[in-house]
Structure 1
Amino acid sequence: MAVDRTDEGDPPLHVHDLDSADLDSRPAPGADQVMLTDPELRAAESRRYHAIADQSRTSDGGSWATAVPKLRAAWEEHLDRYPEQERVVPGTRPDGSWGTDTDRMLTAEQNAEATQVCAEIRQQGKEVIFPAMQRIEAADPQRYLAGLDHLLKGEDRLKEKAANVLLVEPDLTTGQALAKIPDAVRFTLRYSQEYYAEGVISDVQRVKEEGFELVKLKNLWEKEQYKGINSQWRNPDTGLRFEIQFHTPESLAAKELTHGAYERLRRSGISQAERAELEAYQKQVNELVATPPGAAEIEEFPKRHG
């Protein structure tokens, strides 16, 4: 199951790096795959990626840096066995409508509204939220803003998300659908392992002092498929929602390494066999990420009861 995270990408043990027994634990593509149950597929893929990580661990306990090249090679091998399927290119059609496929469409009127709202989102992101985040970054040299090339979600991706919302809630305007997207504007703060917990707590307070409202904070350090803390915020003056992720160097690298797997898991129509392999890959990458001291104790918002 894919963990909720933001959109972005990257990637993997060549075949000769694994023992034949390890390779045999992965079902070969073909008719035999459909005879395996979900638990069997997941177990096979878990064994496969555990073998990759085990071979990457050194006598001193192993390291993230040692594991990454083999994990990148494993991802490339996955892409060779499961080539990218051709997809409809999203965009505006000659009649002014917008679409990716028959299920994700905006009428010409909806598309025009979406184009205008997307421009407003970009303007707010650049002129209001980004300067506030720069002030927060400047307040403490212990961490910095990372991944600023992903600050603004692409217009076609925003329109696709809005179309998804409208499929479920067709009575909304396109602007209202776009307002439900929590990561149209997104930031990542990266901390050292030692400073992480203290830095996150301090920076959550700093964002509040900039006048933004905390909507949600999810502590994902104990999850198998993703490591880090994700938060959603709201500008009370405009209602625009945006996302801030809090990472260590390793957890950020793991997120980027597994982004391709995350993207594929989001799509409909992937095979049972590929889903099992993708989930096993995400799990194995994130097993190598060390949890910073105190990170697991950072409280979620709203607080969970029970």
Structure 2
Amino acid sequence: MATLTWAAVDEAAPGDPGAYAGLAAHFAATAEDASSARNLLERFAGAVDASVWRGEAAEAFRGEIAKLPPKLAKLAESYRTASAGMATYGRVLEDLQAQARRLGDQAQSAADERRAAETARDTATATDPLVPTAAYDDAVARAASRANRVERELDHLSDRRRAAEAAAIRALDQAQDQGIKNDPWYKRAWGAVDRWIDDHADLLKGISTGLKWVSAVAGLLSFIPILAPICGPIALAAGGAALLMDAALAASGNGSWKALAVDGVLMALPGAGRLVRGLTRAGKVGKVAAPAMTRARAAAEALHTSANAARRPTARALKQLARANGGKMVGLKNQLKEVDSLERKIAAHMKRFGVSADEAAESINDSLRYTMRFSERSMTQGSQRVLAELEQQGYEVVRVKNYWVKGNSYKGVNVELRTPEGHLTELQFHT
């Protein structure tokens, strides 16, 4: 018979029941907090009705608040289920360990009795080899039988412990099903695509422009009967691919839905509308590249190039911070100011302040401009967290103008930022 060790006794019901009791208490406290928050929000939402606060912001606020109590109720239910599962397992484990200790004492007693019987038999036979040993043998057998019984009971305890573990796991699985669900896979996938588009927006715009020209030329050639079977499908395929790229750019905030709609309409005119629009754009580019470029124009183009280089990392950082702090980025299609607009502003600064074009360009703080929207309730805390985290990432808060004061028709906070690369940027916080 194998010797029953204390390690085998300990392995029957390992673990710390107090740790599981602590987890249960923590889960229960979290459930209580979620339930209290739900009750508070329901009372608050009932108090802030249309008789107290009206308008678009009020309706948006009430709409968002209304979503929270059901989620908090699910959260509370989830944590109560997890708490009950951990508490039950802790109690079962504590009981099993008490039984295992009792069985360990019995195993020790059986082992002691067996050794005593074997020693007595050995002593008796050493004195008189012919002495009867039946009584000693019976004592050894009884001790061995008791040890075997203890071992079987310990195996039974192990089975009960595994069953309790399975029940605790089922409770945690149920709690997970009851809780607030994470974003579905397609939302997470779109987030990854959105970030990729941000990183490659310029490349995609260049490819889209090339496809539009292919569509325009193929569309014109399709009017020639002999070329129509070949050029017609090419025009449609190139135009459709360009529209898909523009739609992805617009959806990620790197393009314009209005321009996309115009392109879609022009696709209905086989090549003609696209060619006219392309020639118009080419004319504008020709004017920009005229030899008589002014100092303001040169400074504007240099500022535009610098802003475009800072655009992607800045937009990516702000979008991540907005998501993390309950805000939302809006108007990203207008984040980069056009060269013509920058030229006019630089020329105005030169005339007003009597400075050079380069000095005027250095004072322009909105060649990149962003707007982050929060609910009125989270506006203060959310904007402060965003600015603090931006500073941790190497951004410098140059100036803050708070227009959120009584009597102001404009409600918002305007922040002048300097990116880690040194580019001045404007960030506005609105509700």
TM-score interval, smaller chain: 0.3 to 0.5
Greater C-alpha radius of gyration: 2
Which has the larger share of strand? 1
Q: Identify the structure with the greater helix proportion.
A: 2
